[in-house]
Copies of this chain bind each other. A is one copy, B any other.
Amino acid sequence: MSESQTIKGASDRLLLVVDLAGTFLFGLEGARTAIGGNLDFLGVMVLAFATALGGGIIRDLLIGDHPPASLRDWRYATTAFLAGAFVFFLYRVQQGVPASLIVVLDAAGLSLFAVAENQKVLAFQINPLIAALLGTITGVGGGTIRDMLLAQVPVVLRAKVYATAAFFGSVVMVIARRIGLRPTVAAVIGGVACFALRMLAVHYHWNLPKAT
């Protein structure tokens, strides 16, 4: 095996681990929302699945990658359901998790999804603006489906600099690729940018302006 193949193999494994970690984090969040909405075991599993995999499925449908990666590989669905079961059966345990940690984990999930996505989209030779938009959709799509299923206006349309952070991280990654950085390096830089912006926005209570 040549050196470049070894690097590619390691990069692919890293991408999978990152993707599954993001899937688990978003699955936790979907399940928590379902329980907050008084849904039963099935509802918890459905929202864990939809929140964790919805963004990636929308992206794959849009770029025409059939069937979506998260349906081709059973590890994604299994990870989402494990997160749902974890929240359901250990509800009291996980209620002890401080809200601030939840926000941090969620920002981590958002960053991971924006990163994992752009690699794939860029391989499809898509315009950079569109690539950044697809990154944003991957990051916020799952939460949007979750909230639409609960008949609520999606949190991502209201939360402090949330979708904006995903867009910013995607843009940073696309630029990093353009100036010739390696995929993994560009992904890390983009993910850190997304995470940092979201955390700063939460800490300093930044909000986007409204029309007046």
Q: Which residues of A contact B (CB under 8 A)?
A: 35, 37-44, 46-47, 49, 57, 61-64, 66-68, 71-74, 77-78, 87-89, 91, 124, 126-127, 129-130, 133-134, 144, 148-154, 157-158, 163-164, 207-212
Contact = CB atoms under 8 A, between A and B. Distances in A.
A29 B212 CA distance: 17
Contacts of A73: 127
Given A77-B129, A126-B67, A211-B44, A150 B149 contact: no
Mostly, the A contact residues are helix
23 contacts: A35-B211, A40-B207, A40-B208, A40-B209, A41-B211, A42-B208, A43-B158, A46-B163, A61-B61, A62-B68, A63-B66, A67-B130, A71-B126, A72-B126, A73-B127, A77-B133, A89-B211, A91-B211, A148-B149, A149-B153, A149-B157, A151-B151, A151-B152
Contacts of A129: 74, 77-78
A149 B157 CA distance: 9
Contact of A127 (B62, B74, B152): B74
B66 A64 contact: yes
A10 B9 CA distance: 48
Contacts of A209: 40-41
Given A41-B208, A73-B127, 12 more contacts: A39-B158, A42-B208, A62-B66, A62-B67, A62-B68, A64-B67, A67-B124, A71-B130, A71-B134, A72-B127, A78-B129, A91-B211
